[in-house]
Chain A
Amino acid sequence: MGSAVVIIFYGSILFCLVGVVVRLIKFIKMPVHLKWEFYKGSSIYEQMEWWTKEQVNLWEKVKSTILDVLLLREYYHRNRPFWSVLYLFHLGIYLLILWHVWLFIASVAVEPETASTAGLIWGHTATALAFIGGLGILIKRITDSELKLYYPPLHYIKWVVMLFTLLEAFYAVQYYFDASMPALLKYVKTQVTFGDIEHKLHPPPATAIHVLLASIWLIYLPFSHIMRLFLRYYHYLVYDDVPNVKGGPMEHKIRKLLGLSVSWSAPHIQKGKTWGEVATEIPKELSKGAAGK
């Protein structure tokens, strides 16, 4: 049992890292798509000979992305009632992520006995925010007849597990570690430094359950909305508005893609030819030579 917990804990971290990397590589390696953007305001196309003008500044895009992700601005503007609970949840999660980073660093960099109780307040506040927000989301999705049409049973199970994870984390810190920052930091230190294997092999239920629940979320992370959000902004930052310049890297990519063969079956498409050929060699029955006189 104990060794299973250890394997699941470290295994899930490894799975999460590998999963994220594989998913990113898979996505990034997908072929560049046709230019298909939308705009929140004026663009370069408002200028004559736009191809000679400066493209949107990358820093502007990065700034906009950071603000979107941190404040969930789109939800704020488009769906204010939902934003309130969604933001509480996300704020709690952001604070929890930062708290864990701080715990990892502090556990090896700070003398545990000197740790301030502010860290405890930070963790509990973050957990409470995430819990209240998550509960709000769940209630909304259970009670709204419109939303109910779209969410499958698995979705509700996921949120119940999320709320249980948060509750259990609160229990572990407050009761198992007796709300003691030094005790918590010592425990984290053994995790970070791979120490005290004997203790890990015989974990108390409170930490074992927390490890199991955390592992579930680590395994889920590569498939979660967080990844989706990243992929959305990756596209926005990398492809949005990048023009195809003669002799440039985009043209190089496109030339390769035009060499892929096509297998669509409709009668107006020459199955088996390359994309470039199909686009330039119009079948006789479609061309003027055969039917257009």
Chain B
Amino acid sequence: MKRIKVSDISKNNEEQLLHIKEEELMQLPYIGEAENKGEPVKPLTEKQQAGFEHSLDGVSACTIPKPKDKEEEERFVRSFLEGLKKLISEKDNWTFLQQLLLSLDSCAKCQTCNDACSIYLGSGKQDIYRPTYRSEVLRRIVNKYIKKGGKIFAKLTGSDVDLNWATIARLAELAYRCTMCRRCAASCPLGCDNGLITHELRKLFSEEMGIAAKELHDLGTVQQLKVGASTGITPPAFKDIVQFMEEEIEEKTGKKIKIPVDKKGADILLIHNSGEYLSWLENPEAFAIIFEEAGISWTLSSELYGYEGTNYGVWYDDIQFSRVALKHIEIARKLNVKKIVVGECGHATKALVVIADRILVDDMNFPRESALPLLYDLVCNGKLKLDPTRNNFPVTLHDPCNMVRLMGIVEPQREVLRKICPDFREMEPHGVDNYCCGGGSGFAIMQSMNFPDWRSAVSGRMKMKQILEAFSDVISPEHKKYVCAPCSNCKGQIRELFNYYNVNEKYGIYYGGLVELIVNAMVDIEKPFIEWDWH
């Protein structure tokens, strides 16, 4: 395997630094020739290659157009340098400055963190996917171009990265080759947070240069602030969906439920990732069934922003993040509920419950929590009548990074599964040591050009391996198996992985959330709630 040096990123040409080859990727169990695609990542078309940056690894996540002339190239470099100065200024970047400087300063270059990275391992240990690679590029740029006298001893101090269009464009793409699962940060003995450096790079590109993955910005936060949800669901459409949910619940379970919407003064405002309403309606339905059965005072909101828990800003832009978080709080205040509970969505939970904590003042500092402790309380303290034998099939648990490693919600979901799934088995490793699904930091929704191929072939490869290994004793398709992923984005990624590797058909593995398993075990529902149909 060819070694790629840090300074190679500044080779000012169109030559790809890395060509992804099937034989160099990490081996997967059970996945034979038939499932392997030959070429794991489809090359871009000639037209795409001519128009967009792809010289990092042949993949385009950000669709950065190539410059038309020298002047545009120079403007690009100037804009990057301007942004870099703002990134390390208190005024513009108080939100993460301390952490960023500490991480830029603290790396001992011991490379301990590399083996924690699912992308690096999945790729077959390609240099450019090391957590340390992009951080080191940024560090060397800061040392050379921002620090006083940086250019004088550049050779001696190793500050050998030159700034040009190719360096910056490759770096922008490289910021979208890390899921920000921060497994590397947790494994760094000196507390260097390479995941944060990814976040800060994305921020620089978005807040200064207007460069971001379009699914996160244009179709993500911008769409959310315009129409109410990143999925494009409008308030009237949401009300129709709720009505449909009520009908479907009755059809599936015989239960006539009136789902509370915009109920003022309820104890709980439940916010889901709106992707659930489009792709996995059974999840919000299961929440409604459980909450009604337990007699909880709750409501959904049909107001603009109130039915969409996502906050993609958390992955690339502090300003957009803050705008969306403040909208969520405003809705809860308007409904005069006692607290916000975020459904099964990792990034939405982490964004609103934890990260937003330090932008909220006065009455905007509103109580917020994850749904998992509440579900634990309902299941494990006997508030629902459940029959575990109804879940008598192998179940494994995927730990969403945002809720587990990054919030420390480790046990509630496990306790629930231990209680209601007799054949629950852990993946290895699990808990705070889990591997990301490969769809974190927005990857699960990003569909640009050949990026989905890369996501399944490289970034989700480790998760695929873990899932197959967890079911190795029951791998044949006649055993129906369930991967419980209590997170919308993780579910989206697992769906893509299963399609890419044809796992549902060949091995009978299905995926879904936690609440579906709870409802499936409820004794007063005749038909199984989990229908095992692939979607």
Contacts and interface: CB of A to CB of B under 8 A. Distances in A.
Interface of A: 27, 30-51, 72, 74-75, 78-79, 82, 145-147, 149-155, 225, 228-229, 231-232, 235-236, 243-246, 250-251, 254-255, 257-258, 260-269, 275, 278-280, 282, 286-288, 291-292
B152 interface: no
Contact of A251 (B106, B226, B361, B374): B361
B365 interface: yes
Contacts of A149: 3, 5-6, 127
6 contacts: A41-B431, A46-B373, A150-B158, A265-B79, A266-B209, A292-B304
B92 A250 contact: no
Nearest to B377: A48
A35 B5 CA distance: 34
A42 B411 contact: yes
A27 B319 contact: no
A139 B49 CA distance: 44
Contact of B96 (A36, A45, A74, A278): A36
A260 B92 CA distance: 8
B157 interface: yes
B208 A264 contact: yes
Interface in B101-135: 101-102, 105-106, 108-112, 115-116, 127, 132
A258 B365 CA distance: 14
Contacts of A254: 358-361
A12 B14 CA distance: 50
B156, B189, B326: most-surrounded residue (chain A CB, <10 A): B189
B105, B158, B339, B357: most-surrounded residue (chain A CB, <10 A): B357
B99 A33 contact: yes
A286 B225 contact: yes
A41, A45, A82, A150: most-surrounded residue (chain B CB, <10 A): A45
Contact of B406 (A39, A46, A74, A287): A39
B39 interface: no
A250 B98 contact: no
Contacts of A266: 206-210
Interface string B58-76: 0000000000000000000
B223 to A, nearest CB: 9
The 9 closest A-B pairs by CB, nearest first: A43-B408, A152-B158, A39-B408, A74-B189, A232-B191, A31-B94, A279-B322, A264-B207, A292-B226
B320 A263 contact: no
A235 B191 CA distance: 10
Contacts of B358: 32-35, 244, 250, 254
Contacts of A35: 354-355, 357-358
A37 B3 contact: no
Given A34-B96, A228-B102, A232-B106, A268 B320 contact: yes
A45 B314 CA distance: 19
Interface in B181-224: 182, 185-191, 193, 196, 206-210, 217, 222
B323 interface: yes
Contacts of A49: 339, 367, 369
Interface in B158-191: 158-159, 182, 185-191
A244 B354 CA distance: 10
Contacts of A36: 96, 99, 193, 196, 354-355
Given A279-B323, A279-B326, A46 B409 contact: yes
Contacts of B373: 45-48, 50
A257 B89 CA distance: 13
A225 B111 contact: no
A44 B408 contact: yes
Interface residues of B, number: 93
Interface string B370-381: 101110110000
Contacts of A44: 408
Nearest to A50: B369
Nearest to A68: B189
Given A31-B98, A149-B6, A235-B98, A48 B357 contact: no
B90 A30 contact: yes
Contact of B185 (A38, A225, A264, A279): A38
A99 B76 CA distance: 55
B514 to A, nearest CB: 14
A41 B91 contact: no
Contacts of B9: none
A45 B319 contact: no
Contact of B109 (A30, A151, A243, A257): A151
Given A36-B196, A151-B158, A45 B407 contact: yes
Contacts of B406: 37-39
B374 A48 contact: yes
B110, B190, B376: most-surrounded residue (chain A CB, <10 A): B110
B365 to A, nearest CB: 5
A268 B222 contact: yes
B354 A37 contact: yes
B420 to A, nearest CB: 18
Contact of A286 (B106, B226, B411): B226
B345 interface: no
